[in-house]
Amino acid sequence: MTYTVNSTADAVDAAVGNGVCATSAGVCTLRAAVQEANSTLAADTIQVPAGTYEIGIAPAGDNGDASGDFDVVSPLTIVGAGAATTIVDGGQPPGGSPPERRGLDRLLDIHDTAGNVTVSGLTLREGYDPEAGGAVHNLSPGLVRLQNVTVRDSYAGVYGGGVYADTEGRMEIGGSTVRGNTTGGEGGGIYNQHEGELTLTDTSLTGNSAAADGGGLSNVSKTRLTVTRGTVSGNTAGGSGGGVFTDSSRPAAFTGVVFSGNEAGDEVSGDGGGGGLYAGVTAR
């Protein structure tokens, strides 16, 4: 089934499971489309035209699709009109929030039942989670693709300011930009762990920061990392690996990647100390 969003409002579906994306006002919102897609095990597609789609329904941090972030529990493809024009925004933080909280909640929570998920042609911005995955939280054992996507200006308290992946599956990020994301722990732009594979192609990691390791990206545990072309620039880490920190039992491969201006502690990339890349195990 294909659902076409025609409203930028954040409102729930009026009758989840009837195969019709419609709120009580008769419009198809992004949330209503996700709810309808979640109601079946079939692979669905959501078309999201140009516009800004702001999360506006509290509470945050729940695992239901009627409030907070957009929870994905079955195979899904989300297609935007382009990263410059289709923007999914974390919404307004509650009053009195600390300055690092840039939104009400994260943007996408991809559950371990989701299977294959593709997101293309949009921006995910100003998400927040107190623990992991400020913009994207991925637990799917299938193939998750971010294609021509910008992930920016999001915050996670512990892991993955922009993207958090904890899976035995595969995550592919292509033609995308991950920038300006922050974490109080590891993986300012991306944090990847468990036994899955992470592949970045023609993707830039720029201006992300981590209080601990991996300003741009942190890759740990038994994961496999492959980075082809792209840039890793201007990222900072309070620990090791200003650009990339990899300490996995499986090898990491870098081909045609430009590292510049990354900082680890007081080390600048090119000066040693893992300013650009820290490899605790095999990297090639």
The more confidently predicted of residues 105 and 281 is 105
Residue 59: pLDDT over 90: no
pLDDT in tens, 185-226: 999 999 999 999 999 999 999 999 999 999 999 999 999 999
pTM, whole model, 2 decimals? 0.94
DSSP string over 57-113: -SPPS-SSSSSSSEEE-S-EEEEES-TTTEEEE--PPPTT--TT--SSS-SEEE-TT
Banded model confidence at residue 284, pLDDT cuts 50, 70, 90: low
CA–CA dist 235, 201 (Å, integer): 18
- Is pLDDT at 283 greater than 80 in this prediction? no
pLDDT score at 266: 55
